[in-house]
Structure 1
Amino acid sequence: MSSQERILLATDNHIGYLERDPVRGQDSINTFEEILQLAVLHEVDFILLAGDLFHENKPSRESLFRTAALLRKYTMGDRSIEMELLSDPMESKSPGFDFPAINYEDSNYNVSIPVFSIHGNHDDPQGAGVDGALCALDLLSVAGLLNYFGKTDLPSDDYAQPHADGTNPNAEGITIKPVLLRKGRTKLGLYGMGNVKDQRMHFELMNNRVKMWKPKNANDYCNFLLIHQNRVKHGGMFDDSIKLVIWGHEHDCHIVPQEVAGRDYYITQPGSSIATSLTEGESIQKHVALVQVHGTDFVLEPIPLRTVRPFIAEDLELRDVAEEENIDLNDQIEVMKLIRRKVEALIVDTTGVSNMGNPNRIGQEFQGRVANKDPIVYHQAKKRAQTRVKADNPVQLSVDDPELSISEKLQRVRVATLVKEYLSAQELQLLGENGMSDAIQQFVEKDNSHSIEQYCPLTSSFLKLTKLKAEHEAAYEADKEARRVDKKAKGGKGKGKDDSASRDSMEEDDDLGIGAVSIEGSDNEDEERSYRRRKKAPAKAKAATAASKRRQQKRRKPGPR
């Protein structure tokens, strides 16, 4: 048995991109099939995918079906696997189930070419059910079609922040455990870290919270690291035990390994296998790579992809061409004729040209000759030098910016910005702008069809609780006021009755020959008690007055003469 391990590298397949397009709908799945065919042709030991296997967070049934069918067709079979798994096969297994996380360790499957994949920003885990956050890769993994690794369970941002003294006992950060493989004398460690938000990733790195688990005899291993992040200029950020970093997310193909200053590892950027945007970087020839590992050394061989749809991008500066061909830039007809001479998609520098026609009209003339239905001509003024903006405060472009053309707005303005501006103009009374904006963004970008449905009842419940709390507070204040009045009335008995009753009582007492006695400020308790005994209730006083009048009338009535 040879000690050389053969690996096929690919990333950003974006299966399902424009799947409803009658022309380009099958481009992504066709290229993915070519990648699997190359793996079979070169008799690789396994395939490594660095994220964004799917273009959507919730891929369609058609995309899932075609992907599962191709994986079953090309990676299942009787071909023996010569790699030995040294790490725990139950590591990262599905909770509540006892089958291994590595499919070829399961006796129920005949796997000929294992596939290892991390998640990207398009197919990242979502949700908070009993099984935690899930993604499409979890479905393929539990079905035994690929091996999903590099899933990290990070605490919330507030939970991760350090205390005032700089300590945080709850801070665990990111711990990456490798998949350890051996073939003959060659040992390979696969470290994977799926996509993490850039700000959080920066926080984890700056606080030294990214930890890489090392096996025994770590120096005997050739270690690969798969990540899926924005690539920015910085110094070495990973441990020197890593030999090769396989960088996903960036679509430009720079597959030849690049050295990192001050470090011993290399970076390869395979790029996407399909063009998902009409940019110059996407027009570079697409590749995958065949990596051969022997001992702790590796050799990488780029392999061009043949099924990728040709994409040509070219710049045209109108002022320069106008001078050469003696064209009046104010003559719109002549300018349109000049543009029509370009064969494919053009990015036209319109700096200094005030009047431009509708680019969609030119695009309509090429329908049936080019595959892209979206505008093939973009009007774009030359970019001015700008100061660097911190990533923590990204610029949010407004749809009302007069300096942006329609095509630039469509390319650069985010859905979240559009929604936020629209909701701000509506002056919502019941639903919060930020919460509603987040729910709509989840609905559009992550295809979370329940985000708005879940947000509205939560807001309704919050409003009901707020109203109920206000009612309880009002009832409490009313009850408190009633108790205060009642207490005051009881405390001032004899003087706290209403004025009419007091006047009636006083008048009736006068009729009975009882004088009104003021006891305010009196210290004579006997006098007060005597007064209370003499004082009668109004009804009794009236009855006594009537009886007294009858007695007086009898005394005054003259007897018989």
Structure 2
Amino acid sequence: MTRVIHTGDTHIGYQQYHSPVRRQDFLDAFGAVVDDAIDGDVDAVVHAGDLFHDRRPELPDLMGTITVLRRLDDAGIPFLAVVGNHESTRGGQWLDLFERLGLATRLDDEPVTVGDTAFYGLDHVPVSRRDELEYAFEPHDADYAALVAHGLFEPFAHADWDTETVLTESDVAFDAMLLGDNHKPDRATVADTWVTYPGSTERASASEREGRGYNLVRFDEAAAAGDDRIEIRRRALDTREFVFVSVELGEGEGEARVREQVRQHDLADAVVLVEVTGDGDPITPAAVEEFAADAGALIARVTDRRTVETDEAVDVSFADPEDAVRERIERMGLSTAALDVDATVRDDGVADANVRETVKSAVEERLDDPGAFEPAEDSMSDGDESDEDAEPDAGKHAEPDAGKHAEPDTDGTHTGETGADDGTESTAERDESAPGADGQVSMEDYL
């Protein structure tokens, strides 16, 4: 029998809502998982990617993570992990550093046996490079086998990776796939194999309303009733309280009604997210946020979903500034990615506080398509050819000599992970000088 904690998407270093307290929350949630592992005397902690939120974690985040991993190591519990798309760098991975410190094992196509179960790993691989994968794994002689992978697999939300292809083309018959990338916990069976996500350990966006936690997985002939040899149980984590307040304003109702609804909740040290709809009077979001903060909220954000309509017809006798700007932009011959950024910045439907995160998401979704960053032909001077971006290391399965698996890109589809309601600025956004048009950086660049 083998008992492991299956976790992932810890996103350590995420300063959500620009709050240092929230940043600490993400590290504390990872620490809580490790505490449970030690208290429960499990055989291993299996992490399915995105240990860090950013490719350039800051020193306090690195040191905090090392401290937590040392507690696990002191207890004699191995930490097995793969690399997720958020944390991947062009050269060596942070997971490699922890492995050299003796605090982690980076899973790949060779089995790592714990108890009677062989564990394998598959880092995140960009969609554009998955056709190169051969899913070739070394054989094992354990009773069970599990593949730990990071990506959006079928049949779950936002899927772009065919799970059945992985299972049927693999050299190894897997009893389970322990996944990361989707922040919503879920499970299913594909080709008679358990496939499961543990979900994120902290709420990375306002869309993640359910409680956070992890999976406790037991590989045992008698693990469950019937023919199942694997038992997957959900365990909850005690994380920062989120209070969601939805207010629909009727005619004549306004800010007083919003405050009345907010004060009905216990706001102490909570993240309070207020959404306003309906036909009522205009409100001042900042005033409501200040009211919630005075009531003890750690963070308060108000989103007014209403659109203001007017019956007045405005006849402008001079050129519309928007049309003029749009015409000028069209003549500039910008790349597709640049046009996405422009559309987001000038979109009235995107709140000012959310522009940075929305722009980041739009760019990340284009990373699999290098052509999206090429300027239009008519914008390039005669004879000017841009250098092709350096091809990231494709990994062991994509290119035999390239190292461990494939280098992740960022897809920004983790069930709301980009946090359109968050208004959060990530490290990647703060450092616009990071080398590499694909958003990848090397550890050498970092150091």
Contact 2:43–2:114 under 8 Å retained in 1: no
- Paired position in structure 2 for 1:341: 260
Q: For the residues of structure 1 that align with 2:293 and 2:215, how far apart are their CA atoms?
A: 35
- Paired position in structure 2 for 1:310: 241
Q: In the superposition, relative to structure 1, how do residues 405 and 269 fare at CA in structure 2: closer, same or farther (>3 Å)?
A: same
Q: For the residues of structure 2 that align with 1:313 and 1:178, how far apart are their CA atoms?
A: 45
Please list, as runs of the form range in 1=range in 2, the aligned pairs for 1:150-549 lying within 5 A after superposition. 150=108, 177-181=109-113, 183=115, 186=116, 188-201=117-130, 203-204=131-132, 209-215=133-139, 221-231=143-153, 232-233=158-159, 236-239=164-167, 241-254=173-186, 257-260=187-190, 263-279=191-207, 282-295=208-221, 297-306=229-238, 308-318=239-249, 322=250, 327-328=251-252, 334-343=253-262, 344-349=272-277, 356-368=282-294, 369-372=296-299, 375-379=301-305, 396=340, 397-406=343-352, 409=355, 411-414=357-360, 444-445=428-429, 447=431, 451=435
User: Aligned match of 2:43 in 45, 63, 67?
Assistant: 45
Contact 1:198–1:229 under 8 Å retained in 2: no
Q: TM-score, normalised by structure 1?
A: 0.52
Q: In the superposition, relative to structure 1, how do residues 229 and 314 fare at CA in structure 2: closer, same or farther (>3 Å)?
A: farther
Q: In the superposition, relative to structure 1, how do residues 66 and 417 fare at CA in structure 2: closer, same or farther (>3 Å)?
A: closer
> What's the CA shift for 1:264?
0.6
Q: Which amino acid aligns with 1:226?
A: V
Contact 2:44–2:80 under 8 Å retained in 1: yes
Q: For the residues of structure 2 that align with 1:265 and 1:287, how far apart are their CA atoms?
A: 22
Contact 1:178–1:189 under 8 Å retained in 2: no
Q: In the superposition, relative to structure 1, how do residues 135 and 363 fare at CA in structure 2: closer, same or farther (>3 Å)?
A: same
Please list, as runs of the form range in 1=range in 2, the aligned pairs for 1:77-96 lying within 5 A after superposition. 77=75
Report Cα offsets for 1:21-80 as digits up to 9, x if no partner.
343232112111111111111111111000111112111111111111221123225xxx
Q: For the residues of structure 1 that align with 2:83 and 2:148, how far apart are their CA atoms?
A: 10
Q: For the residues of structure 1 that align with 2:25 and 2:230, how far apart are their CA atoms?
A: 32
Q: For the residues of structure 1 that align with 2:428 and 2:38, how far apart are their CA atoms?
A: 38
- Paired position in structure 1 for 2:423: none
The alignment partner of 1:6 has SS state of: strand
Contact 1:9–1:47 under 8 Å retained in 2: yes
Please list, as runs of the form range in 1=range in 2, the aligned pairs for 1:98-109 lying within 5 A after superposition. none
Q: Which amino acid aligns with 1:359?
A: P
Q: In the superposition, relative to structure 1, how do residues 314 and 367 fare at CA in structure 2: closer, same or farther (>3 Å)?
A: closer
- Paired position in structure 1 for 2:13: 16
Question: Please, which moves more after superposition, 359-368 or 407-416?
Answer: 407-416
> What's the CA shift for 1:402?
4.0
Q: For the residues of structure 2 that align with 1:179 and 1:10, how far apart are their CA atoms?
A: 19
Contact 1:244–1:265 under 8 Å retained in 2: yes
Q: In the superposition, relative to structure 1, how do residues 249 and 433 fare at CA in structure 2: closer, same or farther (>3 Å)?
A: farther
- Paired position in structure 2 for 1:520: none
Q: For the residues of structure 2 that align with 1:404 and 1:59, how far apart are their CA atoms?
A: 28
The share of aligned pairs that are identical, in percent, is: 22
Contact 1:57–1:446 under 8 Å retained in 2: no
- Paired position in structure 2 for 1:147: 105
Q: In the superposition, relative to structure 1, how do residues 414 and 18 fare at CA in structure 2: closer, same or farther (>3 Å)?
A: closer
Q: For the residues of structure 2 that align with 1:235 and 1:182, how far apart are their CA atoms?
A: 24
Report Cα offsets for 1:300-342 as digits up to 9, x if no partner.
2221112x10113354444xxx2xxxx33xxxxx322222223
Contact 2:245–2:261 under 8 Å retained in 1: no
1:123 has 2:52 as partner: no
Q: In the superposition, relative to structure 1, how do residues 378 and 223 fare at CA in structure 2: closer, same or farther (>3 Å)?
A: farther
Q: In the superposition, relative to structure 1, how do residues 434 and 41 fare at CA in structure 2: closer, same or farther (>3 Å)?
A: farther
* Count of matched residue positions in the alignment of Structure 1 and Structure 2: 335
Q: In the superposition, relative to structure 1, how do residues 63 and 364 fare at CA in structure 2: closer, same or farther (>3 Å)?
A: same
Q: Which amino acid aligns with 2:358?
A: R
Q: In the superposition, relative to structure 1, how do residues 221 and 238 fare at CA in structure 2: closer, same or farther (>3 Å)?
A: farther
Q: For the residues of structure 1 that align with 2:212 and 2:81, how far apart are their CA atoms?
A: 19
Gaps spanning 5+ residues in structure 2: where? 222-227, 263-271, 308-335, 365-371, 391-409, 411-425, 440-447
Q: TM-score, normalised by structure 2?
A: 0.64
1:35 has 2:19 as partner: no
Report Cα offsets for 1:363-391 as digits up to 9, x if no partner.
22222522225x3334267xxxxxxxxxx
More helix by proportion, 1 or 2?
1
Contact 2:248–2:276 under 8 Å retained in 1: yes
> What's the CA shift for 1:416?
6.7
> What's the CA shift for 1:124?
0.7
The alignment partner of 1:413 has SS state of: helix
Q: In the superposition, relative to structure 1, how do residues 443 and 38 fare at CA in structure 2: closer, same or farther (>3 Å)?
A: closer
Q: In the superposition, relative to structure 1, how do residues 222 and 62 fare at CA in structure 2: closer, same or farther (>3 Å)?
A: same
Larger relative contact order (CA 8 Å, sep ≥ 6): 2
For the pair shown, the structure with the greater C-alpha radius of gyration is 1
> What's the CA shift for 1:5?
1.1
The alignment partner of 1:26 has SS state of: helix
The alignment partner of 1:227 has SS state of: strand
> What's the CA shift for 1:271?
0.7
The alignment partner of 1:140 has SS state of: helix
Q: For the residues of structure 2 that align with 1:451 and 1:134, how far apart are their CA atoms?
A: 15
Q: For the residues of structure 2 that align with 1:39 and 1:26, how far apart are their CA atoms?
A: 20
